[in-house]
């Protein structure tokens, strides 16, 4: 039965979460599109938000980019470029560590603010609080997986030989759960938490990440709207 759990965790569960992410997002925008906002609380508190929000957002964007690179670019490609494995890992640890600690510091300030500032706390929904806590957890897990689980306890572990391959297989719809059996526990928990965040992403304030106003860059300054003639 041990297999059954592994199959659930590394084959079924990711698809459940991604399904929730994709269909939930479509549903949110199609049905409840009007209530997608950044849910800013800057009106209520400004100073802590400044440091927290900027640190967290820049940190998390860099972290996200790092994950995309780490997962999508196969080892064979960097080998072909002639980048030695050690150099790649040191680079990833330094860059990722920097971004991760930025995001962590930012999220700690933001969470402290959300729970301690009366105005902000009283106007927060359960989902706002949950988002803050879950980000704290996943960032701590991610950092400890990289530094403790990876670099210190299992220096021989190379996620690009198993975890990344498995992740790419998810997109190709044939994940091999065996690849995930022998990776350090911290990585496993981090991955599962990550999928949980993707699962609840569309139902929380996080959707604002998908509403980046690209069109602002190209549009004319003054917008006129005309009522359509019937």
201 token code pair: 């992403």
- Angstrom CA distances, 58 to 42, 98, 102, 175, 221, stand at 18, 11, 8, 32, 27
How far apart are the C-alpha atoms of 72 and 100, rounded to whole Å? 19
Applying CB under 8 A, which of residues 40, 77, 153, 185 lies at the interface with other proteins?
40
Closer residue to other proteins, CB minimum distance, 38 or 161: 38
**How many chain residues touch other proteins (CB under 8 A)?**
41
Question: Left, alpha or beta for 175 (phi > 0: left; psi -120 to 50: alpha)?
Answer: beta
Applying CB under 8 A, which of residues 31, 46, 81, 174 lies at the interface with other proteins?
46
Quick check: 126 binds other proteins (CB under 8 A)? no
- Binding string, residues 6-35; x marks residues near other proteins by CB under 8 A: ---------------------------xxx
49 token code pair: 């938000």
How far apart are the C-alpha atoms of 17 and 12, rounded to whole Å? 9
Quick check: 44 binds other proteins (CB under 8 A)? yes
* Three-state SS annotation for 63-102: HHHHHHHHHHCCHHHHHHHCCCHHHHHHHHHHHHHHHHHH
In angstroms, give the least distance from the CB of 113 to other proteins: 12
Applying CB under 8 A, which of residues 122, 156, 172, 182 lies at the interface with other proteins?
122
Residue list 133-192, contact with other proteins (CB under 8 A): none
Quick check: 36 binds other proteins (CB under 8 A)? yes
Chain residues that interact with other proteins, rule: CB under 8 A: 33-46, 49-50, 53-54, 57-58, 118-119, 122-123, 208, 211, 213, 215-217, 219, 221-230
């Amino acid at each position: 039965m041990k297999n059954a759990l592994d199959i659930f965790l590394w084959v079924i569960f990711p698809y459940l979460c991604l399904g929730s992410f994709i269909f939930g997002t479509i549903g949110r925008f199609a049905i409840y599109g009007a209530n997608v906002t950044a849910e800013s609380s800057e009106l209520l508190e400004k100073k802590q938000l400044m440091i927290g929000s900027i640190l967290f957002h820049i940190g998390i964007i860099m972290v996200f980019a790092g994950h995309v690179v780490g997962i999508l670019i196969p080892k064979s490609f960097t080998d072909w470029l002639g980048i030695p494995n050690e150099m790649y890992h040191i680079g990833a640890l330094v860059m990722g560590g920097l971004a991760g600690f930025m995001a962590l510091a930012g999220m700690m300030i933001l969470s402290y603010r959300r729970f301690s500032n009366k105005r902000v706390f009283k106007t927060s929904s359960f989902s706002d609080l949950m988002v803050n806590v879950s980000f704290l957890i996943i960032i701590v897990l991610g950092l400890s997986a990289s530094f403790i689980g990876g670099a210190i306890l299992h220096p021989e572990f190379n996620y690009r030989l198993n975890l990344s391959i498995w992740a790419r297989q998810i997109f190709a719809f044939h994940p091999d759960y065996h690849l995930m059996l022998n990776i350090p526990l911290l990585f496993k928990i981090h991955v599962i938490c990550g999928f949980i965040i993707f699962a609840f992403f569309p139902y929380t304030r996080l959707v604002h990440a998908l509403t980046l106003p690209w069109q602002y860059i190209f549009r004319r300054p003054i917008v006129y709207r005309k009522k359509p003639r019937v």
